[in-house]
Amino acid sequence: MKRALRVACALVALAALAFAGLLFAYWEPDRPVEALKARWAPPPSTFLDVAGLSVHLRDEGPRDDATPVVLLHGTSASLHTWDGWATTLSKERRVIRFDLPGFGLTGPAADGDYTITAYVRFVIAVLDALGVRRFVLAGNSLGGEIAWATAAAHPGRVAGLVLVDAAGYPLVSQSVPIGFRLAQLPGVNRVLLKTLPRRVVAASVRNVYGDPSKVTDALVDRYFELTLREGNRASLPQRFKQAVHGAHAADVRRVTAPTLILWGDEDRLIPPEHADWFHRDLASSTLQRFKGLGHVPQEEDPTTTLAAVQAFVRLLPSASVEAADSGVAAPPQ
């Protein structure tokens, strides 16, 4: 009995030592935003005070564009996911993109609210601060859900909508990035507040690409370092807790804006059949799939995906600002 107890104690001690070793090996405390700005917020990045946050923002292209194109990134991404689109598109259109609360350099929401309703309010507040009344709105994944919810709540302001592997319907993923899975595990997500194996980030990014070989060290560096921005790791579990996949999918039918739906055929996080559901429920939509691309096609192949967007935007009517907005709030989530 005593021998068994000694063996058990030894195993516990070994496990504790192994755990301590892992903590030591992967110890990554939060990084102050000021320490990250030099690398991730050079010009044309600016910071705009909105909703108690210093919002990391890039506003490029001709200032006389009456309907700028606004780009919203997805979960754990940043405005940099649109680099390939913005570089080309800003030569002909005003392009506005910013880090959403909880991600990138903007950091955690001041009130801890990561519902879709809160994100819609945030998007409108940023555009109000910029004096932008009417716009074309594009979003990927979480950003796509925010985009269509904004279009449903404020139809007078959205001249056109681009949904890129967008969220919004009940979700059964074929594969979920390991970083997302760990962030939803009680206890483990607390350990991750002070640790972060770079290989977890690398595996997560490769998971959402149709061709994982396209994931470079520089790309992993970006996701890794921006995840370490102070407060971001604590925000992610809150966002997942507040997410209710598909709870308000019926509201997609309230969207009246002309919509372009873009989808990677190799998306395993939000499967391609979701594209068909959007196409079915939206009043005016065009669907284009991309063979071999995954969940972030705008990042994986910006040239091919942007060509579809440019053609769509050029066909939109030259709309003037409507006198009245619906004022309808996005559904709570």
Q: Domain limits of the chain?
A: 33-315
Stretch 309-333: mean pLDDT, rounded?
61
Tell me: the pLDDT tens digits for 43-97?
999 999 999 999 999 999 999 999 999 999 999 999 999 999 999 999 999 999 9
In this prediction, residue 256 carries a pLDDT of 97
> In what side-by-side order are the strands of the sheet with 259-264?
45-50, 53-60, 95-98, 69-72, 135-140, 158-164, 259-264, 285-290
pLDDT band at 259 (very low <50, low <70, confident <90, very high): very high
- Is the pLDDT score of 328 beyond 70? no
Predicted pLDDT at 324: 38
Quickly state the pLDDT bin for 248 (edges 50, 70, 90): confident
The pLDDT-based confidence of 26 (bands split at 50, 70, 90) is low
How long a stretch of residues is the chain?
Answer: 333
pLDDT digits (tens, 9 = 90+) for 135-188: 999 999 999 999 999 999 999 999 999 999 999 999 999 999 999 999 999 988
Res. 254 pLDDT band, cuts 50 70 90: very high
- CB within 8 Å of 31: residues ≥ 6 apart: 225, 228, 229, 230
Q: Convert the pLDDT of each residue in 232-243 to its tens digit.
A: 999 999 999 999
Per-residue pLDDT at 6:
55
**pLDDT, tens digit, 9 for 90 and up, residues 99-127:** 999 999 999 999 999 999 999 999 999 99
Does 28 have pLDDT greater than 90?
yes
181 backbone dihedrals φ, ψ, rounded to 5°: -65, -45
Per-residue pLDDT at 317: 82
CATH of 33-315, one of 3.40.50.1820, 3.40.309.10, 3.40.50.300, 3.40.50.1980: 3.40.50.1820
Per-residue pLDDT, averaged over 280-303, amounts to 98
What pLDDT was estimated at residue 27? 80
The mean predicted confidence, pLDDT, of the chain is 90
- Separation of alpha carbons 80 and 76, rounded Å: 11
Over residues 123-141, the pLDDT tens digits come to: 999 999 999 999 999 999 9
Closest CA to 103 of 213, 183, 18: 183
Q: How far apart are CA 280 and CA 297, in angstroms?
A: 22
Q: 13 pLDDT band (50/70/90 cuts)?
A: very low
Three-class secondary structure assignment of the chain: CHHHHHHHHHHHHHHHHHHHHHHHHCECCCECHHHHHHHHCCCCEEEEEECCEEEEEEEECCCCCCCCEEEECCCCCCHHHHHHHHHHHCCCCCEEEECCCCCCCCCCCCCCCCCHHHHHHHHHHHHHHCCCCCEEEEEECHHHHHHHHHHHHCCCCEEEEEEECCCCCCCCCCCCCHHHHHHCCCCHHHHCCCECCHHHHHHHHHHCCCCHHHCCHHHHHHHHHHHCECCHHHHHHHHHHHCCCCCCHHHHHHCCCCEEEEEECCCCCCCCHHHHHHHHHCCCEEEEEECCCCCCHHHHCHHHHHHHHHHHHHHCCCCCCCCCCCCCCCCCC
Confidence of residue 189 (pLDDT cuts 50, 70, 90): confident
326 versus 68: the higher-pLDDT residue is 68
Any residues with CB less than 8 A from the CB of 107 and at least 6 apart, and which? 33, 53, 54, 101, 229, 230, 231, 232, 235
